[in-house]
Structure 1
Amino acid sequence: MFISPMLLETASGPFSHDNYIFEPKIDGHRLLFSQEDGRIRLYTRHETECTKQYPELLAPFDDDILLDGEVACTDPETGLVDFENVMTRFQAKKEQRIRQLMGISPVTYVVFDILRYKGQDLRKLPLMRRKEILNSITMPNPHFGVLPFVEGAGEALFEQMEARKLEGMVGKRKNSLYMSRRSKSWQKVINWTYAEVIITGYRKDEFGWLTAVPNESGVLRPAGIVEYATQTARKEFFAKSRTLVIGEDKNFVYVEPVIKVKVKIRNWYKSGMLRSPAFVEFVV
């Protein structure tokens, strides 16, 4: 069974509130675990089935159940959650490759909600009651874990997330019902990383700034495409770039590498590219 998951609004910053619980934000991908009539199926938030990608999660519970959580991998060297590793697991299709990756990058399913259990729909119960039910259930193997939370002290938790270089936190109203849409009852606060990059061009057909950063020798290398910027910033850039054009091809217009911007990112990919860069300000 698939149910469209409840989605997060974005909070303006870390906050604390007695009516909220706060959870670490796990840097993996959303996963719904469905066991119906004894059959296990795994789904992404977009209803893409990924059952075969995660054999270590095909362990049965004592009864039919529908869980919501994140599937994640941990880097064995740093001990940190590694988004790229779980994406490698998700994209693997061949059974031999999947089995190989199980040994290299085993996954953990971090469960934070329960939607159905023993034939009962639990979505109209308040969050704290659902948490009680979830915590009363025995997980089927060590690849499953229940996400911890704190009550009220969101800012203190976020400081811990920053210190440990984790993705951020999620605040949830204690009495929130589970709704299959985006809701202010659940809010995320991202622990952004910031970087300065140089714009080297832009897309012709849709918005996107090509960026670069200097390598160890001072030579510019590509760093990815900024796809998020305010309309004011876009207009300012195009006004500045009119006299800086140095060439073009089918997809891009290239400019002299003189316009520098500050961007916020989730982190750096191992390839040296920016992950989800968004414009913050021009650097003068």
Structure 2
Amino acid sequence: MLNQIIKPMLLYPLQPNQIKSWKYNSLKWDGFRALIHYENDKVRAFSRHGTEITSRFPELLNIKLPVKSAILDGECIVFDLNQPKDHPPKYWWDDAMTRFNTKTESGVKRIATTLRAHFPLWDILYLNGKPILEKTFKERREVLKSVVKTSETLSVTPLYDNGHELFQKAKELGLEGVCQYSGDAPMILNGRSEHHVVKVKAYQYITCQIESIRLKGNFGWGLSVNGKYVGVLEFPPSHDEIRAFNQISKQLICGESKGWRYLEPLISCKIKFQCFTKDGKLRSPKFEEFCTPNSVQ
């Protein structure tokens, strides 16, 4: 198990009206899953798909734990050190992906000076030569807290008693959502169960205008908000909605260039999305319905 590719347990997705009354709840970090293998001061790290990412994150090489070996389960998030000093530290999904996709030694060395990786952990799967998957989440958390002390690189994800209140707070702050853990559940690798660990995403909604249509290749509608471009809708609506849109949009064409057809006036629609990206785009926008420009966002 140690220093081998393992597939961790995935989070079972729930809707906001399905939030459980479990007493172990955390914020959902907006980065990517990371499994940290530690053995006698040596570290290897893997993504949840089994990609080794050790060389991409030199921050991990200085880890010292008070045990011989362990496998830590958590997330990689990334802070932009170039933010104004009077602003609180903020992490961006975009920056996490930039770090993940930077692979050359020179590129990693350069980018690590401005985009600092941090690994908030919520579980431990292996300790001193033995898997501890059969222990309950509550028991594993106590082990994790005894092994990991907060540092610039590692921390233990805080837990909160009330999942409903935490979800509302995450929603107010524009965060990704919450994770919920059954305190009595063991860990099951390469699986997903609503009785073990779940996630509830705090999607946001906004009224956008469809300003362009991709002419070739994959489906795409260019979106704007109050005249500002906010990205491309690439998850197509239903066939009926596309058909209705095409009938109307034919009368609104005002030009074409570089594989796109432009519309004027614009057609408004309600969009569901995860969050705004660092450059102000919508992350993973999905069509909800056509609407009037003044619909409540």
Aligned residue for 1:182, secondary structure, equals: coil
How far apart are residue 273 of structure 1 and its match?
2.2
Structure 1 residues 163-211: Cα deviation after superposition (integer angstroms, max 9, x where no partner): 33322111121122222222213221222222222222146554x3312
1:162 aligns to 2:171 (yes or no): yes
Aligned partners of 1:123 and 1:178 also within 8 Å: yes
Q: Normalising by structure 2, report the TM-score.
A: 0.81
1:68 aligns to 2:69 (yes or no): no
Q: Normalising by structure 1, report the TM-score.
A: 0.85
Structure 1 residues 68-112: Cα deviation after superposition (integer angstroms, max 9, x where no partner): 101112344342222222222222223233223322122111011
The structure with the greater share of residues assigned to strand is: 1
Corresponding residue for 1:235? 240
Aligned partners of 1:209 and 1:225 also within 8 Å: yes
- Kindly provide the amino acid, as one letter, of the partner of residue 195 in structure 1: I
Aligned partners of 2:125 and 2:131 also within 8 Å: yes
Aligned residue for 1:150, secondary structure, equals: coil
Query: 2:257, 2:11 → 1: CA distance?
Result: 39
Question: Which residues in structure 2 correspond to 1:1-284 (within 5 Å)?
Answer: 1-13=4-16, 17-36=20-39, 39-58=42-61, 59-61=63-65, 62-75=67-80, 76=83, 77-139=87-149, 141-151=151-161, 153-179=162-188, 180-184=190-194, 185-199=196-210, 200-202=212-214, 205-206=217-218, 208-214=219-225, 218=227, 222-228=229-235, 231=238, 234-245=239-250, 246=253, 258-284=266-292
Aligned partners of 1:265 and 1:275 also within 8 Å: yes
Q: Percent identity?
A: 29
Corresponding residue for 2:295? none
Query: 1:164, 1:249 → 2: CA distance?
Result: 39
Aligned partners of 2:45 and 2:53 also within 8 Å: yes
Q: For structure 2, which runs of at least 5 residues remain unmatched after alignment? A: 293-297
Query: 1:269, 1:280 → 2: CA distance?
Result: 20
**RMSD of Structure 2 on Structure 1 (CA):** 2.7
Q: For structure 1, which runs of at least 5 residues remain unmatched after alignment? A: none
- Kindly provide the amino acid, as one letter, of the partner of residue 134 in structure 1: L
Structure 1 residues 5-48: Cα deviation after superposition (integer angstroms, max 9, x where no partner): 21122211066644441111111111110124654211111111
Aligned partners of 1:15 and 1:154 also within 8 Å: no
